[in-house]
Structure 1
């Protein structure tokens, strides 16, 4: 009898040890970007709320610079322990679909959801008629300007054309208000391609023709690079721009060392935050300029989505996490660094209050977003173009020669 009681006690102890409350948690691994858009703290807070609502789940987050994001996703595909959820750029679905890196989630997205999200946002996750994730960051580049500097120079409003920007920058420089009125993210990376695409779209250029052949070396594409080079030759662009990322641009502008900057949405509230910026209260925002007779504004599609890797062992749970991060309540609660992808969010005072000027610019910018090419070999084409632009910016090659060489490389790709 005594032995029987001891056995029963042991059995009960085992049950307690393995009860659901004490069971080992399921771990999700997620990869994010450590720059622009949502901050690491924002994502950690979003995730903490998900874990609280799903106590059996533990999300392991990894943050890397944008430049490392693509290769991290690719290399993890054959790793023993890969990611479940990844943040990916609008330019990657073609490549990722070709090589089977992401899970097709078309059957998880209903028509109501499609209608409720901004049309342009869906281009971020769609390829070949299939959806490979949920839109999460809808973004483009805007023109930021220092209102105080413009006023000191006798300028009453920001430029609406790129030639007008050059004229205003000359006035500001000539008056000795700031040494280099312009600052850009022109390092040899995808950042410079985004600025180049903005100029190219304004000037009526194209990356590729209808047959997929490169044409960026002519017309608006050539004029775009010539404009970039001219701003350096004129002493208007901070020469360090050739090494700068978006964060360098934000810091330079926020420290009062530039009158104009082109950057993503996230810079608006940070540049207006006295804890982050010495020019807070003097920061204006407008759509990136256009070209008279060609365009009224310019913009590049810099949106990003969240997807499930094809090797994930927890696809249903990964999708649940993605649904949480991209949900309207979560996005509206964290709308200061990245605007929501939901149409109705723009009627919510909690989103619009204090961001009226940003949303005014966004209404124009998001509607004008120009896409970078959708092709599996985009990374290789972009790399060749980055080199060409850098050579022209450094003065080692003429813009036409540099772009022709990049076009020859691009022509040999698929």
Structure 2
């Protein structure tokens, strides 16, 4: 599933107060962000968790019990909130000042918006931010807004190239494509030498367009210059390449059910390679192409564009503290504990998600082929543009991207139309 696609809040922000400041020694023993001994901190922390209620949540619930044992004066009220509804619920609660959680597991793409609305607290100098040098750069970069840190990385992901090794071998292809032109050439070879198999399946979701945009040095907008760049020459080049891949290398796309059909085609061996994230791997391995032969699934970075750089968006979730919390000190300690290296190792081992701390990639954690496969791919991850409105930009771009793929409009005209809609969402930005 794509990350951080949302509707921008239209309500004005309510400033809820200034957070406490202080230092941390990284182990929570001397300073909880206010100069107090953490053992003396008390209160109740309400935590909204958006992880999968059946398969992932038990791991977080077990960690909460460990936290309460370590800090017996702090109690945690756990609530599992559906990922698809949590944004609306949190905004409503934060705006009204009633019912918001003390700590929320938020999609990384939402941090700039929540920070701009003053819904979440800046964490610099608090106990929540411990051993920041241990965090992987990509996830850590998702926590920043206007020079301050508003969240702590919890789990991370990015897009990579997943491929079927058996199909590659039948086609005589010895390595995954390093560029988009190589992907097109490999797809042609696969079509010729492995009848009934397509090279790839183009996902028309605009999130999956980012590797092509980044690979040409393009982006949605430039906040520093206050300029919309989705229709720049670099962006036009990127989307032109995406259209070429669609026309020459993709299995026919069912736009009504594109994601599900893409997954089915790959896991049953009708498609040789996909641009996908680690969240899809368990589904991939359940199909006839990989079940019982998990080593047939290959992992590689996304292909590079003309800049020579392979780049993909950083996804995942961060923990953020509600600025109006009445239990800030306890919330800082809870956030620190849940994002510690030990906690991240436990989460990775139980849930198979990628840690955000370098030290959490232990030999035991790396026994998981999915984590091992995506670890190096994370080096290609870069954050989406840090704009509060970034989530709302996906919809007009996707609408035009689909028209471009279907041949209803030219690349330039489609991106110009997207840029015009961006202008309504980004006041003060030049087009």
* TM superposition score normalised by structure 1: 0.80
Once residues 33 and 331 of structure 1 are traced to their aligned partners in structure 2, the CA distance between those partners, rounded to angstroms, is 14
1:51 equivalent in alignment to 2:65: yes
Tell me, yes or no, if the aligned pair for 2:67 and 2:334 is still in contact at 8 Å: no
Choose which of 204, 226, 246 in structure 2 pairs with 1:212: 226
**1:342 aligns with one of 357, 372, 378:** 357
- Asked if 1:60 is matched to 2:73, the reply is no
For residues 201 and 318 of structure 1, the distance between their equivalents in structure 2, rounded to whole angstroms, comes to 36
Distance 1:268 1:287, change over 3 A: same
Equivalences for 1:384-399 in 2 at 5 Å? 384-399=396-411
Alignment match, 1:113: 131
**Displacement, 1:289?**
0.9
Q: Give the aligned partner of residue 166 of structure 2.
A: 148
**Cα displacement string for residues 126-165 of structure 1 (whole angstroms, at most 9, x for unaligned residues):** 2122221211123211100000111111211111111111
Query: Mean Cα displacement is larger for which, 120-129 or 49-58?
Result: 49-58
- Of 380, 404, 410, 2:416 maps to 404
Q: Matches of 2:358 and 2:294 in 1, distance apart?
A: 29
Give 1:186 shift: 2.6
Asked if 1:166 corresponds to 2:184, the answer is yes
Kindly provide the CA deviation profile for residues 237-262 of structure 1, in whole angstroms up to 9, marking residues without a partner as x: 440367434x7644542232321111
Rate the CA distance shift 1:252–1:60 in 2: closer, same or farther, 3 A.
farther
Q: Which runs of 5+ in 1 are unaligned?
A: 1-24
Shift of 1:235: 5.7
Which residue in the other structure is 1:271 paired with? 284
Q: Mind listing any 5+ residue stretches in structure 2 that lack a counterpart?
A: 1-42
SS of match in other structure, 1:304: strand
CA contact (8 A) 1:142 1:264 kept: yes
- 1:367 alignment partner in structure 2: 379
TM-score normalised by length of structure 2: 0.77
Which of 71, 90, 106 in structure 2 is aligned with 1:73? 90
Q: Please say which structure displays the higher CA radius of gyration.
A: 1
Higher helix share: 1
RMSD of the alignment, in Å?
3.0
State the 1:221 CA deviation. Answer: 1.1
Measured in 2, the distance between the counterparts of 1:122 and 1:286 equals: 22
Q: Distance in 2 between matches of 1:45 and 1:307?
A: 19
| Map of 1:125 onto structure 2 | 143
Counterpart CA distance in 2 for 1:300 and 1:105 is 24
Contact 2:151/2:319 (<8 A) preserved: yes
Residue number in structure 1 paired with 2:341: 328
| Residues in 2 aligned to 1:241 and 1:177: alpha-carbon distance in whole angstroms | 24
Partner of 2:394: 382
Conserved? CA contact 2:290–2:297, under 8 Å: no
> In structure 1, what is the equivalent of residue 102 of structure 2?
84
**1:147–1:282 CA contact under 8 A, matched in 2:** yes
Asked whether the equivalents of residues 352 and 359 of structure 1 are also in contact (C-alpha less than 8 Å), the reply is: yes
Query: CA distance change for structure 1 residues 328 and 314 in 2, over 3 Å: closer, same or farther?
Result: same
Matched residue pairs, number?
Answer: 375
Note closer, same or farther for the CA distance 1:151–1:217 as it changes in structure 2 (3 Å cut): same
Compared CA separation, residues 321 and 240, structure 1 to 2 (3 A): farther
User: Out of 275, 282, 287, which is 2:301 matched to?
Assistant: 287
SS of residue in 1 equivalent to 2:345: helix
1:284 deviates by: 0.3
Which of 295, 298, 301 in structure 1 is aligned with 2:311?
298
| Inter-partner Cα distance in structure 1 for 2:285 and 2:248 | 29
Contact (CA 8 Å) 2:167, 2:272: kept in 1 or not?
yes
